[in-house]
């Protein structure tokens, strides 16, 4: 999940947080430092966080972090790709999705900057995922894919809808995920017909499915998989975003 709750609209600058907000932030949030930033594309960055508050943390694939945007209680949600509780480090794959606070934070972050976070918290429970596993998603799902790729012994394949296939493939390869299937978005979501057919063909092979990303795409594919005979126990879903909405996760 990467900056999954951005709206594609301008957000006016917020006032500095007041005393109550600052108190809540100190109570809820924990501090970290941006240890490294690697620009992978105009909208994607690999971001390493480090700090004492990251040590001794029990993290599992699919959990989320909420990062304070520094304006009141505004946060954006990200999926860590890995976590080193011994050294107190974690990595985020940040996607600037829209033009709001998360995008401004992504574009303005620098090595050495301080930040505050909440979590990790449960978002998508992938403990002991059955194999073979098919992950569907979009650009907001790349971090989850990177985390799954590093899971020992997991037989998983990856299928994404994306706006820019070339850029997306470059970003995925930079995270070590080679061989993912990428399908360009089409007007009226016409591309979902081909994706539904591909995923439905795997039902008879015993695949389990994880559907993430855009809410409407998840609904479409969930219906197709159930029509193909996949029971609810074989489908896990988590909507990261929907057009015009914030705060889905």
Average pLDDT of the residues in 32-43: 96
More confident residue, 243 or 182: 182
What are 238's two structure tokens?
A: 């988590």
Average pLDDT of the residues in 159-184: 96
Q: How many CB atoms lie within 10 A of CB 35?
A: 17
Q: State the chain's mean pLDDT as an integer.
A: 88
Q: In the structure, what pLDDT confidence band is assigned to residue 171 with cuts at 50, 70 and 90?
A: very high
Going by their DSSP bridges, the two strands 133-137 and 208-214 should be labelled as parallel
Map out the domains of the chain with their CATH numbers. 19-121 (2.40.30.10), 133-241 (3.40.50.80)
pTM: 0.86
Report how far residue 163's alpha carbon sits from residue 166's, in angstroms, rounded to the nearest whole number.
9
Q: How far is CA 221 from the centre of its chain?
A: 19
Is 203:230 a contact under the CB 8 Å cutoff?
yes
pLDDT value at position 6? 42
Average pLDDT of the residues in 146-155: 88
Report how far residue 243's alpha carbon sits from residue 137's, in angstroms, rounded to the nearest whole number.
15
Average pLDDT of the residues in 130-159: 92
């Amino acid at each position: 999940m990467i900056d999954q709750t951005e709206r594609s609209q301008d957000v006016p600058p917020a006032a500095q947080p007041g005393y109550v907000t600052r108190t809540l932030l100190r109570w809820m949030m924990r501090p970290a430092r941006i240890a490294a930033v690697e620009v992978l594309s105009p909208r994607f960055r690999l971001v390493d966080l480090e700090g004492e508050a990251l040590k001794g943390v029990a993290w599992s694939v699919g959990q989320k972090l909420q990062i304070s945007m520094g304006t009141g209680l505004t946060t954006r949600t990200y999926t860590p790709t890995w976590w080193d509780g011994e050294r107190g480090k974690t990595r985020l794959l940040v996607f600037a999705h829209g033009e709001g606070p998360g995008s401004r934070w992504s574009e303005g972050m620098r090595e050495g900057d301080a930040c505050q976070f909440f979590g990790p918290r449960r978002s998508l429970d992938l403990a002991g995922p059955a194999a073979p596993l098919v992950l569907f998603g979009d650009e907001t799902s790349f971090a989850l894919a990177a985390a799954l790729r590093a899971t020992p012994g997991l037989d998983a394949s990856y299928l994404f809808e994306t706006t820019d296939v070339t850029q997306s493939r470059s970003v995925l390869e930079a995270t070590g995920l080679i061989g993912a299937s990428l399908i360009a978005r089409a007007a009226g979501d016409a591309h979902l017909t081909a994706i539904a057919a591909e995923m439905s063909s795997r039902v008879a092979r015993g695949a389990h499915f994880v559907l993430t990303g855009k809410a409407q795409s998840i609904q479409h594919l969930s219906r197709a998989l159930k029509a193909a005979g996949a029971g609810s126990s074989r489908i896990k879903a988590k909507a990261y975003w929907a057009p015009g909405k914030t705060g889905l996760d």
